[in-house]
Amino acid sequence: MSPSVPLQEMIRAIRSARTQCEERGVIQRECAAIRAQFRQADNGGRSHNLAKLLYVHMLGYPAHFGQMECVRMIASPRYSEKRVGYLGAMMLLDEKQDASLLITNSIKNDLSHSNQYVQSLALCTLACMGSAEMCRDLAPEIDRLLRASNSYIKKKAALCAVHIVRKVHDLGELFAPAARSLLAEKNHGVLHGAVVLIIELCERNPETLERFRKVLPDLVQIMKGLVLSGYSPEHDVAGISDPFLQVRILRLLRILGHNNEGASDAMNDLLAQVATNTDSTKTVGNAVLYETVLTVLDIKSESGLRVLAVNILGRFLLNNDRNIRYIAMTSLQKIVGTDHNAVQRHRGTIVDCLKDQDASVKRRALELSLALVSASNVRSMMKELLLFLSSCPAELKAHAASGIFNAAERYAPSQRWHIDTILHVLTTAGGDVRDETVPNLIQLITNASELHCYTVHKLYRALLTDISQVSVSNQSEIRFVTEDDVLDALETVLQSHMSGPLTACLSLHHFTTASRIRSIVSIYGSCIDVELQQRAVEYNALFKKYDHMRYATAR
């Protein structure tokens, strides 16, 4: 049995292994030693052993044999051992393991330990991995700590209560009174925990929400204090006083003001103040402004305040920081239905974002642009969208194409423009066009009878210039181009894509040379490409079935 080495030496040994195999060897040796040590009586090095095992676990190696050791360590009277034991429990045990129940008793004892750092370990572990059963068992203890302990413990107990409520919803009622009284505390950590707890309680229970509306004045007071107070070194972040607490309070205000005129009125002035006074030159200020905007847009705010909020988003769109532009668009997307005109004002900037380098930003800009297409701007918007389609990343092509089709269908100023747009999309991104949309297109082209020859003409040109996937619908009335020309081109297309995936739709209306088409199509009935084969077989069946109907399907 090799002697156990201190943690850092082991880490060094593992890191100096030159191959995966060598590393495995070192770890196997270490684990064997650790296992042996676990079985031995207390030798003062237990915490080091467990720490070593936890390191090994983080590298991805199995460590379940350490679970019972964690349970033992947590029960130890030594702080160093408790500390690593609880850490081990959080890493190796989860509520699904039976062993986790075994630590419930230790946690219970440690929650009332005389030393606050021991209490802290118990609270942290409970909040991290406490099961519903453990939560039910220990809830009264947590409530006690919420009322009668120092700030250090109170702030932790509050977040522990949050976890308990998330696990066991009905226990929310238990914590409501204590949560309310915590709002009177001065300590920011406690206040923050209290606000998080109240948010959790209000989100789960409408009656509790109703009751907590009464504390609105207190919240406004606290928030005012943060926004208007001078520099506070302890909580200052780039000129903002405790942005974490501010953001939380704003979120609670959002919940309290949602669908409630009275509450929304009471917070109107404060929100206007925060929106105007918060410094937006750094991310931290923008984080607070962002939360403010979200709140303004989700409550019954007066129109002036709403305009202020949308303008902040408009400013965000012009920010150099890509992150800010991204979240601005996310927010605008949420209100594009309700505040359409306000968002329209920023259409230009949004369309510019289509050219951003980042795919996530592009996606957001696309969604928003599609939502902003209207009868009055359809021509210019479509120009931009088609430009976007020609160079957009592959994963967005299908969505962009179908979005453009939908918008074109709703707002097309003329049939010819509509067909042009469709053909443009097909030639730019035909391969990404979703199959379901194709029958609609064929229908559209069929219905625009006076444009049949125009359509075929354009399709023919498209076929010649770009023989990738193009949906072809041949019409009977051809003046400038003969049927045979089209078939020649089509044959070329099909032949050149013999081995590639080709989604070619042939919609044929009483063609005199139907037999030639049928012969071409039959070849593909035995094609290697399954999709082509399927299509070919389907069309052949269609020909046979509807042969007699060909002349009847007049335009």
Partner 1 sequence: MQFMLLFSRQGKLRLQKWYVPLSDKEKKKITRELVQTVLARKPKMCSFLEWRDLKVVYKRYASLYFCCAIEDQDNELITLEIIHRYVELLDKYFGSVCELDIIFNFEKAYFILDEFLLGGEAQETSKKNVLKAIEQADLLQETKEQKVKLSILH
Which residues would be at the binding site for partner 1 (CB under 8 A)?
Answer: 8, 11, 15, 44, 51, 54-55, 58-60, 78-80, 83-84, 87, 94-96, 115, 117, 120, 123-124, 127-129, 131, 152, 155-156, 159-160, 162-163, 188-189, 192-193, 196, 234-235, 237, 242-245, 247, 251, 283-284, 286-287, 290-291, 294, 322-324, 326-327, 357-361
What does the alpha-carbon distance between residue 440 and residue 446 come to, in Å, rounded to a whole number? 10
The C-alpha atoms of residue 462 and residue 325 are separated, in whole angstroms, by 38
Report, in Å, the least distance between residue 357 CB and partner 1: 6
Q: Which is nearer to partner 1, 127 or 267 (CB)?
A: 127
Beta bridge partners of 237: 240
Which CB sits closer to partner 1, 157 or 489? 157
- As measured in angstroms, the least distance from the Cβ of 485 to partner 1 is 47
Beta carbon nearer to partner 1, 192 or 346: 192
CA dist., res. 169 & res. 204, Å (int): 7
What's the min distance (Å) between Cβ of 142 and partner 1? 12
CA distance 318 to 280: 12
Q: With respect to partner 1, which residue has the nearer C-beta, 270 or 284?
A: 284
Q: Two tokens at 162?
A: 């949050």
CB atoms within 10 A of CB 136: 15
**Can you say how many angstroms the Cα of residue 534 is from the centroid of all Cα atoms in its chain?**
38
Nearer to partner 1, 52 or 535 (CB): 52
CA distances, 389 to each of 369, 393, 401 (Å): 13, 9, 7
Whole-number minimum distance, CB 199 to partner 1, in Å?
Answer: 10
Q: How far is the CB of 430 from partner 1 (least distance, A)?
A: 28
Is the CB of 80 or the CB of 260 nearer to partner 1? 80
Q: Calculate Rg over the CA atoms of the chain.
A: 34
- Compare residues 7 and 448 and give the one whose CB is closer to partner 1: 7
The answer for residues whose C-beta is within 8 angstroms of residue 427's C-beta and 6 or more apart is 462, 465, 466, 470
Please name the amino acid found at residue 353.
C
Give the nearest distance from C-beta 235 to partner 1 in angstroms: 6
Nearest approach, Cβ of residue 175 and partner 1 (Å): 14
CB of 460 to partner 1, least distance (A): 42
- For residues 109 and 86, give the distance between their C-alpha atoms in angstroms, rounded to a whole number: 14
Q: Least separation, in Å, of the C-beta of 419 and partner 1?
A: 36
User: C-alpha distances in angstroms, 217 versus 209, 213, 515?
Assistant: 15, 9, 83
* Closest CB to partner 1 among residues 187, 273: 187
Give whichever of 95 and 137 is closer to partner 1, judged by the CB atom.
Answer: 95
Q: Tell me how crowded residue 495 is: count the other CB atoms within 10 A of its CB.
A: 11
Question: In 3-state terms, what secondary structure has residue 473?
Answer: strand
Angle between helices 67-74 and 46-58 (to 10 degrees): 140
